[in-house]
Structure 1
Amino acid sequence: MSEQFSQPLSEHPPRNEDHAPRTELQARLERIRIRGFRSLADVELDQLGDLTVVVGPSGAGKSNFVRFFDMLSWMLRSRRLGEFVARYGGADDQLFGGADETMRLEADLSLRTQVGRNDYRFALSHAHPDRFVFIEEAFRFSRDGLPTEANWRHLGAGHHEAQIVDAGHPSAEPSANRTTAATIVRLLRSCATYQFQDTSDESNFKRRWDADDNLRLRRHGGNLAALLWRLEEEDPEVFEEVCAQIRRALPGLRAFEVDENYGKVTLAWRANWSERRFTTNLTSDGSIRLFALLTLLNLPSDLMPNVVLVDEPELGLHPAAIEVVADSVQALAGRKQVIIVTQSPRLVDALDVDEVVTFDFLEGRTEARRRDRGELQAWLEEDFSNPM
């Protein structure tokens, strides 16, 4: 059984600026400080706005920054910090210089809402057998307009999974602390990372996927076919916008097709210049990534997290496609908080931001620094081009 997504063609249509967002941005990540995680001995990003661009050469620690957000997801969304640690080499591998040099991993996060600031901090210590134990976990809410900050609510020590999830659960005793804990968990669970680098023959893009797995685009993009199928059926205006943006970078796209068999779907497409049907196995890596990226960046707000972190979106893309991606990123930043991690000066230039955060690897550790346009240009010319 095959369903074809059809769409009237137009030549390089501009972005539909009249397509209103479904929801307004209600909360944002304001500050994050990470100490002792992999190469991030002590890295702080503050004054985070609608769009933050992190740029650095290969090996500077950008992937470790992304991995920290993955760890948060394992901690708070599924409460499987122990599984994350085991999957990625044990606690020793997560610590800066290993446990012999750094015994604890610490993080402080601040989240801004319309009425105040929510703070969450935790510290993890290396424990036998090569796992983490919490030695501190605390949270607070400081309301705007008050002369002092709120006191911290401490959640104890000695546990192996995040206790803030229990503190904010509806079964917990009703209190202001429960409300604050629930708010922090909800906000941090709504931070999602997206990495579309893997387009190998064994990648999720080229697998048959459950048709019902279409509520959100997964971090690896493997359920792209299922999500496009849902959009075409339930939100054709958004589907047409996605197709229009893809055609700006790939004018030869005629239509997407999704094959459904016994609840599994696969993605294919047709081109203007050929009658052949192109499956993902016959599609270039750059085109597959482009399909996933522009779908993600043009989704309605109710299908997206509040904080969208995209790792190296420029990989495999033609310069013209990078311009289209940058346009979609800027549009998305008007309704969601976006963090772009890149090693592409071209993408940084296309995003046209006043400041960026640069990552350098100096004396065995990642150094983060906020730079304005003038400083960035000098850094790109003097430091970025030098080998690590």
Structure 2
Amino acid sequence: MPFIEQIIIKNYKLLQNVTLTDLQPINVVLGPNGTGKSTLFDVFGFLAECLQSNVRKALESRGRFHEVRSRNSDGPISFTIKYREADYVNRLNSTPITYHISIDEKNGRPYVSHEYLHWRRGKQYGSPYKFLDIKNGEGMVITGENPEEGDERHSIKMDSPDILAIKSLGQLAEHPRVASLRRFIEGWFLSYFIPDKARQIPESGVAEHLSRTGDNLANVVQYLSEEHPDTFEQVLARVADRIPGLQTINSERTVDGRLVLQFKDGPFRDPFLAKHVSDGTLKMFAYLILLYDPTPPPLLCVEEPENGLHPRLLSILAEEFRAHARGGTEGIGTQVFVSSHSPYFIDALKPEELWIMSRNEKGYSTIIRADKISHIPEFIAEGASLGNLWYEGYFGRGNG
């Protein structure tokens, strides 16, 4: 799966000028409320919505251009993503590709002012070679799997200034690199799991993937138990190992065609319904369902998974996320982004996996990786834990 190495964000709400570089398979964001953690995650959602619909609709759902562009700032909203079409382990054997999009406004209407794709000649070094370059709706694209090797250059003009070029061109077989990026962004998944949503009784029918809120959990259980029983048994074994006494979980069809989740506890003869299960049990089960998806998303964002979970489960959950990000048993890794406020979750991380967010004197977000903060690597080498260092104030303004 593609792997993001760097993200540069400019003029997006609190993220007036933020760069995350040398990203890892798992990246956890820590910081006080109001420092921009949710905004950072919303960048992924915003770009996916721009691709699924258009720039105007994605902005309208967030208050329009003037509410999204960083306050007291000029110039366009822009995002630059450097990625490779290979997983973390094999990334250095692939060519780095950069995607850039700038969004501006004219006469009250947002438009894509610049969009391009380029890669470097050679796997590590060399000058950039643009094979997609669109300014104000007009530009060029070069066809083929290897655009440098004699493929054709075409002039293009977009029908609408608020539609991404990768949306239109990514549907065509002659633009495989563009299509790969389109599929990559379309597959990004943001999890906002809500236990009460998972307790609802949905209509009968299978669902291959968990929804953002988890309201189709029973449908996914039905799908996995019928189509991927070995995977489902793995999930049940992991849950039973994490939640003492929990024996089995099933989805039963009611007479009116709906699905009910039933949990069987070891000491009791009869199973009980999801409405009687703790938030923590439901969340651990749902996250494991998500992580053991037979066709996982290429990028996964999870906000504050620690809510409702017992502290002793948090280091275990962090290890589950890390194993999944590095490929797990199937060798298919999903790059993971997590926000957290829990020292127990943070304790399970390596310094290079932890990002600290704060706000500067102008009110904008800043972000730095923990291993780049003075003395943090030395403290860790001496046996200190990241959670304790956070509580003791060693992360500067990112404490809170």
Normalising by structure 2, what TM-score?
0.79
Residues 124 and 333 from structure 1, CA distance in 2 versus in 1: closer, same or farther, beyond 3 angstroms? same
1:57 has 2:68 as partner: no
Mapped partners of 1:265, 1:104: distance in 2:
47
SS at match of 2:370: strand
* Superposed displacement of residue 70, structure 1: 0.7
Deviations 1:209-245 (A, max 9, x none): 3444512222222221111111111222211111121
* Superposed displacement of residue 104, structure 1: 2.4
| Aligned match for 2:355, one of 314, 337, 357 | 357
Deviations 1:29-71 (A, max 9, x none): 1111111111111111111122222222222211001111111
- Unaligned ranges ≥5, structure 1: 1-25
Aligned residues: 348
Mapped partners of 2:201, 2:74: distance in 1:
43
8 A contact 1:245–1:324 mirrored in 2: no
Residues 354 and 140 from structure 1, CA distance in 2 versus in 1: closer, same or farther, beyond 3 angstroms? closer
1:317 has 2:309 as partner: yes
Mapped partners of 1:385, 1:94: distance in 2:
24
Following superposition of structure 1 onto structure 2, how do residues 168-247 of structure 1 map, counting pairs within 5 Å?
A: 168-170=170-172, 174=174, 178-196=175-193, 198-200=194-196, 203=197, 205-247=198-240
* Superposed displacement of residue 310, structure 1: 1.8
Mapped partners of 2:104, 2:253: distance in 1:
48
Which residue number in structure 2 is paired with residue 66 of structure 1? Answer: 41
Mapped partners of 1:137, 1:45: distance in 2:
20
Which residue number in structure 2 is paired with residue 87 of structure 1? Answer: 61
Deviates more, 1:346-355 or 1:41-50: 346-355
* Superposed displacement of residue 352, structure 1: 4.1
8 A contact 1:268–1:277 mirrored in 2: yes
| Aligned match for 1:328, one of 320, 343, 347 | 320
Residues 128 and 240 from structure 1, CA distance in 2 versus in 1: closer, same or farther, beyond 3 angstroms? farther
SS at match of 1:209: coil
8 A contact 2:301–2:337 mirrored in 1: yes
Residues 386 and 46 from structure 1, CA distance in 2 versus in 1: closer, same or farther, beyond 3 angstroms? closer
SS at match of 2:60: helix
SS at match of 2:348: helix
Mapped partners of 2:115, 2:398: distance in 1:
40
Deviates more, 1:318-327 or 1:81-90: 81-90
Which residue number in structure 2 is paired with residue 115 of structure 1? Answer: 94
Residues 199 and 163 from structure 1, CA distance in 2 versus in 1: closer, same or farther, beyond 3 angstroms? same
Mapped partners of 2:10, 2:271: distance in 1:
50
Deviates more, 1:273-282 or 1:55-64: 273-282
* Superposed displacement of residue 281, structure 1: 2.4
Identity percentage of aligned residues: 25
* Superposed displacement of residue 143, structure 1: 4.2
Mapped partners of 2:282, 2:258: distance in 1:
19
SS at match of 1:141: strand
Which amino acid is 2:134 matched to?
L
Residues 378 and 348 from structure 1, CA distance in 2 versus in 1: closer, same or farther, beyond 3 angstroms? closer
Which residue number in structure 1 is paired with residue 4 of structure 2? Answer: 29
* Superposed displacement of residue 122, structure 1: 0.8
Which residue number in structure 2 is paired with residue 138 of structure 1? Answer: 116
Mapped partners of 2:396, 2:243: distance in 1:
30
Mapped partners of 2:349, 2:237: distance in 1:
20
SS at match of 1:59: coil
- Unaligned ranges ≥5, structure 2: 86-92, 138-160, 328-332, 380-385
8 A contact 2:7–2:21 mirrored in 1: yes
| Aligned match for 1:346, one of 337, 344, 348 | 344
Which residue number in structure 2 is paired with residue 7 of structure 1? Answer: none
Mapped partners of 1:379, 1:207: distance in 2:
38
Mapped partners of 1:279, 1:88: distance in 2:
37
Mapped partners of 1:118, 1:264: distance in 2:
46
Which amino acid is 1:164 matched to?
I
Normalising by structure 1, what TM-score?
0.81
Residues 31 and 263 from structure 1, CA distance in 2 versus in 1: closer, same or farther, beyond 3 angstroms? farther
Which residue number in structure 1 is paired with residue 289 of structure 2? Answer: 295
| Aligned match for 1:156, one of 113, 135, 140 | 135
Which residue number in structure 2 is paired with residue 43 of structure 1? Answer: 18
Which amino acid is 1:367 matched to?
T
SS at match of 2:128: coil
| Aligned CA-pair RMSD | 2.5
Mapped partners of 1:236, 1:29: distance in 2:
32
SS at match of 2:293: coil
Q: RCO greater where, 1 or 2, for CA within 8 Å and sep 6 or more?
A: 1
Mapped partners of 2:83, 2:356: distance in 1:
22
Which residue number in structure 2 is paired with residue 249 of structure 1? Answer: 242
Residues 321 and 140 from structure 1, CA distance in 2 versus in 1: closer, same or farther, beyond 3 angstroms? same
Which amino acid is 1:269 matched to?
F
SS at match of 1:291: helix
* Superposed displacement of residue 133, structure 1: 1.8
Which amino acid is 1:242 matched to?
V
Deviations 1:88-122 (A, max 9, x none): 3222222212xx54452110011112531221111
Which residue number in structure 1 is paired with residue 383 of structure 2? Answer: none
SS at match of 2:290: helix
| Aligned match for 1:270, one of 260, 264, 267 | 264
* Superposed displacement of residue 358, structure 1: 0.8
